[in-house]
Amino acid sequence: MSEGPLALGVLVSGGGTNLEAIFGAIEARELSAAVRVVISNKAGAYALERARARGVPTCVIDHRAFAGREAFDAEIVRVLRDHAVSCVVLAGFMRIVTSVLIDAFPDRVVNVHPALLPSFPGVHGPAQALAYGVKVAGCTVHFVDAGVDTGPIIAQRAVDVAEGDDAAALAARILVEEHRALPQALQAIAEGRVRVDRPAEGRPRVTVRSR
């Protein structure tokens, strides 16, 4: 088991319900972590208010102020390092990150996606699932790599698609599972139970040891 709480930096762009789930799990002592800083590319993101209400440092880094994604990510890395972050969580962060961030925190950038990857990557997972006609949808917690929602999978949770579901209804039920899966995956990382195996051939795979 790792020593001390997992030092998290959380990147957000919107309301921050997954950030709230992280705070809730920490407060319930279900997650051995501390949120060191919350960073948003949008000054009006309500997630920042959630952090400020708990006295957690916040930072707004406007992506429009940078010439490219790499420069933007370099500034994010600087702020994360200033706050001694060891694990980065993308919690509704609506920007594609580059190798600048990924390489700064190898196997320590975590994303939660509202689909059962590798199906339906991108920004409209629930709507894509409905359009395809699947009977089971869900969410995926994964490490971030250079692709879009292609990184090694840590955890998944399934949600049945109900008759008459629209994208909003399905997304809401998936979000409930995101709020459970993300803190649990982070706790496994905090306890040192997560390992990424990279075979000579094939995709990297994540092994999560039981307690």
DSSP bridge partners of 31: none
- Please tell me whether residue 167 adopts helix, strand or coil conformation: helix
21 CB-near residues (< 8 Å, 6+ apart): 178, 179, 180, 182, 183
What is the DSSP code (8-state) at residue 192?
T
Residue 113 bears catalytic tag: yes
Closest CA to 158 of 177, 141, 171: 177
CA–CA separation, 11 and 61 (whole Å) = 10
Judge contact between 34 and 7, C-beta under 8 A: yes
| Residue 27 CB contacts under 8 Å (≥ 6 apart), including other chains | none
Prior bond to 5 cis, omega within 30? no
Find the catalytic residue in 113, 124, 142, 179. Answer: 113
Give me the sign of the Cα torsion angle 106, 38, 13, 67: negative
Active site residues per annotation:
113
